[in-house]
Amino acid sequence: MVTIQCPHCEKDIGLEDGLVGLFDCPYCSERFSWNSGHQTHSVNTGFFDLWLGLLIPALCLYPGLKIMIAIFDPQGLDVLFFILFAILFSLSTAVILGLIGLRKQRGDLALGAGLSPIVSGIILWIYADVGF
């Protein structure tokens, strides 16, 4: 077993001999790379994960709705069905991304996915005000 120091919190971490790759620090949860005896710079995906979780469900809402309306050209109450379907698709995307973030212990992805219904609601409100 080799003992290394986390590049972020500088606490000692024990790793098995011969392990290489990306690891999460058990103390600060930041990622770092370990390769045969020397450390490289950390891989910080938190900012990217947050924006990915925020924008993917929000982008599923408006462009998806525009594409469905352009393809099917609904009339009357059918438009309401398409709007509800786009909202349901956006929410299910947010839930799936949130579950992936929790499962993979990527808190920023889960946070972004949890906040994405707010962003999606704001986008829908803006485009409803402007008009489709």
How does DSSP assign 85-130, residue by residue?
HHHHHHHHHHHHHHHHHHHTT-HHHHHHHHHHHHHHHHHHHHHHHH
The CB density around residue 71, as the number of other CB atoms within 10 Å, is 8
Is the domain of 58 the same as that of 27? no
Q: Containing domain of residue 66, as a range?
A: 46-130
Is the domain of 122 the same as that of 61? yes
Is the domain of 17 the same as that of 78? no
Is the domain of 87 the same as that of 104? yes
State phi, psi for 6 to the nearest 5 degrees. -65, 135
Is the domain of 32 the same as that of 89? no
Count the domains in the chain. Answer: 2
Residue where the block lists tokens 């024990």: 14
Structure confidence at residue 82 (pLDDT):
86
Q: Give pTM, 2 decimals.
A: 0.61
Is the domain of 93 the same as that of 29? no
Is the domain of 71 the same as that of 114? yes
Nearest of 39, 13, 31 to residue 109 by alpha carbon: 31
What are the per-10-residue average pLDDT scores of the chain (132 residues)? 82 81 86 64 72 87 83 89 88 93 90 91 82 62
Structure confidence at residue 132 (pLDDT):
56
Is the domain of 64 the same as that of 118? yes
Distance CA 69, CA 72 (A): 5
Distance CA 88, CA 53 (A): 16
Is the domain of 57 the same as that of 115? yes
Structure confidence at residue 58 (pLDDT):
82
Is the domain of 65 the same as that of 10? no
The CB density around residue 46, as the number of other CB atoms within 10 Å, is 17
Is the domain of 65 the same as that of 126? yes
Structure confidence at residue 67 (pLDDT):
87
Length of the chain: 132
Is the domain of 7 the same as that of 70? no
